[in-house]
């Protein structure tokens, strides 16, 4: 499939990233243009062109990578194609202006694996990131795909597979961190009617998180192979991938991959000639956040309302269609093949005492390098934010890092040296979740953040149990009052007592974690709540009801930039004289503040009622 | 027939109960009062109101569990009356009282828990979403004409897509079981479900309500 050209005797290949972000940014057009340009230049530019899995450097899409040099270009537009072909492919000189590097002024371009973003990463789940064509099973097989399954079917007993996973110390990557091997064993031992199920939970719903989507899009065979290994160890013969409809590319690729695996005899009856039979169905979810909860997910597959049910019975005892079922998320499954291939002891040598291996995070927010990262467990937040993330945008101050998605907690900058693993995050009041990591700078209002996440969770609560349905709504009402400057004394205490009750008494994990953003911000940023409630001030100058813009006459030169910028016609005044800002017309959008060159508007002069 | 007996500790006293029962049933058997708002003996428990929470210690871990859906286990230690449990129940009562301030069963339950006022703004809902009507329709009548629509605070009970139900038999089990005394058959019935089913068929007239039914 990958036509490989030769240059100087070395196989060369131009790889265009085909992750969702790059495709959205125009990777398809870039790929077509590259092919056309190479065609036009003829034998001079002999090279293979391939589309590859998500390179995880989403900030720079579309990304094009030149192999074997390992030079990464991004963002590449159709206009840049001719230059890359003539200068680099034909001329052998790197196109410096497009090359990815951490050096602002560059003497030489470092190989991409040596740049800060990639250097500190350890790739296991994302081992094929940016290296293979996700739609090519041959590419996957060339890169150790299905080797672990072949090993398990020819040289191992199902018990041995289970033993390796137990030895690896792998824990569920979907959030709760339950030991995967133990979960498999319970399901394996569960008595029950014929037929057990394995499920891949790809109902990733955290705002700003895209680990599972990217894994499914870039390496679907890793997930399929992991599920097959799990089914072998557990004694299941049918698998389901539950993926949300909002992930069309992931759906498409996983379906294609399943077809390809069937055609190769890697799924279906008597896999690789053994007596092990296993096949996978894909079920598309309608995109309810709560369907990521395992019992709600199974209800949804069964065609019922996507609502959780109490456990016990656990899915391992009584799961899908009442049969023992093992459910793991995408990243967990993707970790299984390397564990079986290289041994549990190898995996367990990475990480911390109780959290082994690596974890994929989607690093987003006010950080310079955004994208997907995979790091060893125990890596500190500082390494993640500053070494890999490259620090805070515009070199502002870090305020907090939110981990674990909307129901995760906000960890303050003072805990930046926290090693990231399940235990340490829990101690700080947050969760690992599925791996969302949102970096917040000094211009973030923590009360506003809590309000935002609680509003999301109110919307996504299924409504089954009282504390979650009624409690989250009341928390949102109280927070809504506070950000509007209508907070009352006693609100913080009410939030705390209500939050604690919701945490302790909700039916499922969604409810039980939903107060985390409120409780952690109350714990670490209490002064911001107090400022909102008692002083009616928003220290980060975010909450619109609590800020007032005004012109500082001594500084205003009357340049009229703000007059033009104001969408509400709230600023007037003749040129060269201090302008007037009419507070009754002001919509507090901040446009004037952004354009003012003389610190005449807001800045330290933000006047607070 | 009495099944196997297992022993557990209920509020400090050793007790023997039938295996397979719920903690709630076991506690009630010994006269321990546990409030519930979504539990009905004739229906499968769902553990949704969360008023019946208790502290359960087993395997060295103490957890807060809904007693109606937690099966008894050998050696389990159950406490139904700790300050933490009381606080959770009162908070839930305050939340429900704000949702349904006029519903009698909510007012009474709150009163029994010592809750007189709620710190939250009051709505005036007549349904607190226990789902008994839905379960009764499916489990007792064997019909399944109604279900929850929408999500979260917007949840409500109605036939699928809010359309007239063509499976409702108008038996009234839902209205009879409704603990809030608010579920009105009109919600399903006004859509002429049964009448529709009866159209063009040989039907009998009910001597009490004068409606048609399609029985023999």
Please state, in angstroms and rounded to a whole number, the distance separating the CA atoms of residues A203 and A286.
9
**Chain B touched by A305 (CB under 8 Å):** yes
Mutation for testing the B interface, residue in A466, A495, A497 having most B CBs under 10 Å: A466
Largest Cα–Cα separation, chain B: 65
Q: How far apart are CA A320 and CA A329, in angstroms?
A: 16
Calculate what percentage of chain B has a pLDDT beyond 90: 67
In A, residues 524-563, which contact B (CB 8 Å cutoff)?
Answer: none
Please tell me the distance in Å from A509's CA to the nearest CA on chain B. 13
pLDDT per position as a tens digit, A222-245? 999 999 999 999 999 999 999 999
B71 contact A CB<8A: yes
CB contact under 8 A, B152 and A307: no
Kind and range of the H or E run holding A374: strand A371-376
Contact yes or no for A501 and B87 at CB 8 A: yes
Rounded to the nearest angstrom, the minimum Cα separation between A500 and chain B is 9
pLDDT of A39-92, one tens digit each?
Answer: 888 766 567 888 887 777 788 889 898 877 778 888 999 999 989 888 888 888
| pLDDT band, very low/low/confident/very high, at B185 (cuts 50, 70, 90) | low
A460 shares contact with chain B (CB less than 8 Å)? yes
Mean pLDDT for A552-557 is 83
Of the residues B95, B123, B156, B180, the best mutation for testing chain A's interface (the one with the most A CB atoms within 10 Å of its CB) is B95
Question: Nearest residue of B to residue A304 by CA position?
Answer: B147
Chain A's closest residue to B149, CA to CA, is A305
For the segment A297-347, what is each residue's pLDDT rounded down to a tens digit? 999 999 998 999 998 899 999 999 999 999 999 999 999 999 999 999 999
Q: What is the mean pLDDT of residues A516-532?
A: 96
Of B112, B108, B127, B111, whose CA–CA distance to B177 is shortest? B127
Burial A185-222 (b: 16+ CB within 10 A, else e): bbbbebeeeeebbbbbbbbbbbeebbbbbbbbbbbbbb
Q: CA angle A443-A448-A454, nearest 5°?
A: 140
Q: Do A461 and B98 touch (CB under 8 A)?
A: no
A256 in contact with chain B, both atoms CB, cutoff 8 A: no
> Which residues from A are below 8 Å from B46, CB to CB?
309-310, 464
| Residues B152, A462: C-beta atoms closer than 8 Å | yes
Question: Looking at the predicted structure, is the pLDDT value of residue A381 above 90?
Answer: yes
Q: Residue A505 is nearest to which of B64, B98, B147, comparing CB atoms?
A: B64
Task: For the beta carbon of residue B19, count every other beta carbon within 10 angstroms.
Answer: 12
Per the listing, tokens 């979650």 go with A468
* DSSP-assigned states of every residue in B47-81: --S-TTEEEEEETTEEEEEEGGG-B--TT-EEES-
Residues forming a β-bridge with A239: A198, A280
- If pLDDT is split at 50, 70 and 90, which confidence band does A6 have? very low
For range B76-105, the mean pLDDT: 96
Which chain B residues have a beta carbon less than 8 Å from that of A462? 151-152, 155
On whether any CB of chain B is under 8 Å from the CB of A17, the answer is no
Contact B147 A305 (CB under 8 A): yes
Structural domains of chain A ordered from first start: 5-116 (3.40.30.10), 137-348 (3.40.50.11540), 358-441 (3.10.20.600), 446-534 (1.20.1440.230), 547-609 (3.30.70.20)
For chains A and B, count residue pairs whose Cβ atoms are closer than 8 Å: 95
Tell me if the pTM is above 0.90.
no
Residues A297 and A564: their CA atoms lie apart, in Å, by 52
Residue A108 pLDDT > 90: no
Q: Are A91 and A82 in contact (CB under 8 A)?
A: no
Would you call B48 an interface residue with chain A, using a CB distance cutoff of 8 Å?
Answer: yes
Instruction: Judge: B96–A501 Cβ closer than 8 Å, yes or no.
Output: no
Q: Is A463 an interface residue toward B (CB < 8 Å)?
A: yes
Fold of the domain spanning B132-213: Alpha-Beta Plaits (3.30.70)
Domain residue ranges in chain B? 1-126, 132-213
Mean of per-residue pLDDT scores for chain B: 86
Query: Is pLDDT above 50 for B215?
Result: no
Smallest Cα–Cα separation from A471: which of A437, A434, A503, A519? A503
What is the pLDDT at residue A185?
96
Q: What's the pLDDT score for residue B15?
A: 96
Would an 8 Å CB–CB cutoff place A351 in contact with chain B? no
Residue A607 has pLDDT above 60, yes or no: no
**Across chain A, which distance is largest between two alpha carbons, in Å?**
87
CB contact under 8 A, A465 and B50: yes
Per-residue pLDDT band at B189 (split at 50, 70, 90): low
Residue A459 has pLDDT above 90, yes or no: yes
Structure confidence at residue A21 (pLDDT): 87
Question: Which of A166-170, A591-595, A599-603 is predicted least confidently?
Answer: A599-603
Mean pLDDT (whole number) for A379-395: 93
**What does the block give as tokens for B154?**
């917007």
pLDDT of residue A13: 81
pLDDT for the residue B168: 81
Specify the pLDDT at position A61.
85
Residue A395 CB burial class (10 angstroms; 0-12, 13-18, ≥19): exposed
Residue A36 DSSP SS3: helix
H or E segment to which residue A251 belongs: helix A248-263
> What CATH number labels B1-126?
3.10.20.740
Cβ neighbors of A160 (< 8 A, separation 6 or more) are: A152
Helix (H, G, I), strand (E, B) or coil at B204: strand
The answer to whether the CB atoms of B48 and A465 lie below 8 A apart is yes
pLDDT digits (tens, 9 = 90+) for A160-187: 999 999 999 999 998 889 999 999 999 9
Q: Which of B50, B120, B154 sits opposite A466 (nearest CB)?
A: B50
Interchain CB distance below 8 Å, B152 and A477: no
Supply the pLDDT for residue A101. Answer: 57
pLDDT category, B2, cuts 50, 70, 90?
low
Lowest mean pLDDT among A104-113, A511-520, A582-591: A104-113
Among partner residues A463, A474, A504, which is closest to B129 by beta-carbon distance?
Answer: A463
Q: Which of A451, A440, A356 is nearest to A402 (CA)?
A: A440
Please tell me if residue A465 touches chain B, with a CB cutoff of 8 Å. Answer: yes
The pLDDT score that the predictor gives to residue A104 is: 36
Q: Which residue from B71, B92, B151 is facing A467, i.e. has the nearest CB?
A: B92
Cα angle value A592/A597/A601 (rounded, 5°): 45
Q: Indicate the average pLDDT of chain A.
A: 89
Report the candidate in A459, A307, A465 with the shortest Cα–Cα distance to residue B95: A465
Sort out which chain A residues have CB atoms less than 8 A from B88's CB and list them.
501, 504-505
B155 in A contact zone (CB under 8 Å): yes
3-state SS assignment for residue A10: strand
Q: What are B105's two structure tokens?
A: 């069963």
Asked if the C-beta of B99 comes within 8 angstroms of chain A's C-beta atoms, the answer is yes
User: Is residue A471 less than 8 Å (CB to CB) from chain B?
Assistant: yes
């Amino acid at each position: 499939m990958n036509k490989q050209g030769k240059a100087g005797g070395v196989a060369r290949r131009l790889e265009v990233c085909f992750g969702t972000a790059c495709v959205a940014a125009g990777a398809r057009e870039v790929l077509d243009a590259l092919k056309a340009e190479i065609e036009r230049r003829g034998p001079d530019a002999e090279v293979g062109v391939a589309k590859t899995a998500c390179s995880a450097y989403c900030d720079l899409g579309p990304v094009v990578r030149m192999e074997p040099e390992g030079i990464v270009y991004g963002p590449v537009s159709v206009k840049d194609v001719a230059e890359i072909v003539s200068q680099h492919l034909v001329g052998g000189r790197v196109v410096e202006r497009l090359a990815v590097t951490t050096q602002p002024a560059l003497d030489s371009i470092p190989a991409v694996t040596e740049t800060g973003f990639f250097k500190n990463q350890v790739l296991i789940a994302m081992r094929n990131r940016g290296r293979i064509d996700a739609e090519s099973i041959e590419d996957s097989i060339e890169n150790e795909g299905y080797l672990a399954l072949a090993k398990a079917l020819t040289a191992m007993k199902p018990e041995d597979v289970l033993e390796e996973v137990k030895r690896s110390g792998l824990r569920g990557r979907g959030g709760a961190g339950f030991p995967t091997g133990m979960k498999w064993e319970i399901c394996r031992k569960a008595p029950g009617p014929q037929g057990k199920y394995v499920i891949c939970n790809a109902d990733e719903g955290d705002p700003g998180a895209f680990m599972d989507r990217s894994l499914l899009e870039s390496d679907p065979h890793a997930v399929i192979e992991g599920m097959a290994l799990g089914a072998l160890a557990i004694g299941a013969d049918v698998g389901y991938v539950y993926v949300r409809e909002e992930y069309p590319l992931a759906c498409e690729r996983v379906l294609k991959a399943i077809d390809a695996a069937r055609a190769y005899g890697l799924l279906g009856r008597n896999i690789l000639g053994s007596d092990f039979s296993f096949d996978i169905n894909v079920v598309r979810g309608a995109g309810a956040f709560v369907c990521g909860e395992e019992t709600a997910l199974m209800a949804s597959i069964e065609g019922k309302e996507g609502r959780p049910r109490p456990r016990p019975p656990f899915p391992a005892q009584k799961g899908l269609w009442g049969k023992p079922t093992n459910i793991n998320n995408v990243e967990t499954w993707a970790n299984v093949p390397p564990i079986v291939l290289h041994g549990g002891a190898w995996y367990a040598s990475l990480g911390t005492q109780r959290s082994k291996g690596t974890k994929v995070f989607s690093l987003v927010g006010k950080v310079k390098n955004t994208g997907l990262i995979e790091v060893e467990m125990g890596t500190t937040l500082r390494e993640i934010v500053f070494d890999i993330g490259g620090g805070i945008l515009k070199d502002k101050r870090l305020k907090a890092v939110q981990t674990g998605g909307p129901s995760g907690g906000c960890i303050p900058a003072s805990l930046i040296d926290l090693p990231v693993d399940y235990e340490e995050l829990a101690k700080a009041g947050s969760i690992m979740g599925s791996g969302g990591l949102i970096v917040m700078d000094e211009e973030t209002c923590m009360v506003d953040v809590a309000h935002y996440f609680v509003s999301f969770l109110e919307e996504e609560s299924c409504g089954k149990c009282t504390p979650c349905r009624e409690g989250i709504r009341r928390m949102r009402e109280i927070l809504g009052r506070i950000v509007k400057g209508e907070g009352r004394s006693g609100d913080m205490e009410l939030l705390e007592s209500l939050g604690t009750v919701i945490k302790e008494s909700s039916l499922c994990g969604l409810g039980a974690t939903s107060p985390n953003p409120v409780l952690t911000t109350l714990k670490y940023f209490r002064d911001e709540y107090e400022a909102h409630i008692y002083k009616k001030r928003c220290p980060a100058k975010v909450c619109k009801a609590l800020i007032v813009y005004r012109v500082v006459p001594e500084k205003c030169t009357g340049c009229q930039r703000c007059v033009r910028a104001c969408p509400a016609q709230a600023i007037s005044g003749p040129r060269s004289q201090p302008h007037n800002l009419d507070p009754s017309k002001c919509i507090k959008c901040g446009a004037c503040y952004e354009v003012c060159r003389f610190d005449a508007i807001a800045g330290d002069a933000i006047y607070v009622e | 027939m009495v099944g196997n007996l297992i022993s557990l500790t209920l509020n400090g006293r050793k007790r023997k109960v039938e295996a397979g029962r719920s903690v709630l049933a076991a506690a009630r058997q010994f006269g321990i009062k546990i409030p519930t708002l979504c539990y009905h003996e004739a229906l499968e428990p769902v553990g949704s109101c969360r008023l019946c929470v208790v502290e359960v210690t087993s395997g060295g871990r103490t957890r807060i569990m809904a007693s109606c859906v937690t099966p008894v286990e050998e050696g389990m230690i159950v406490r139904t009356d700790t300050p933490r449990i009381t606080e959770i129940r009162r908070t839930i009562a305050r939340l429900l009282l704000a949702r349904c301030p006029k519903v009698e069963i909510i007012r009474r339950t709150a009163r029994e828990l010592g809750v007189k006022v709620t710190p939250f703004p009051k709505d005036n809902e007549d349904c607190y979403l226990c789902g008994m009507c839905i379960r009764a329709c499916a489990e007792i009548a064997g019909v399944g004409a109604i279900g929850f629509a929408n999500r979260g605070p917007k949840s409500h009970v109605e036939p699928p897509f809010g359309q007239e139900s063509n499976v409702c038999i108008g038996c009234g089990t839902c209205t009879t079981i409704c603990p809030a005394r608010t579920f009105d058959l009109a919600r399903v019935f006004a859509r002429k479900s049964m009448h529709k089913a009866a159209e063009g068929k040989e039907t009998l007239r009910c001597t009490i309500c004068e409606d048609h039914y399609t029985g023999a």
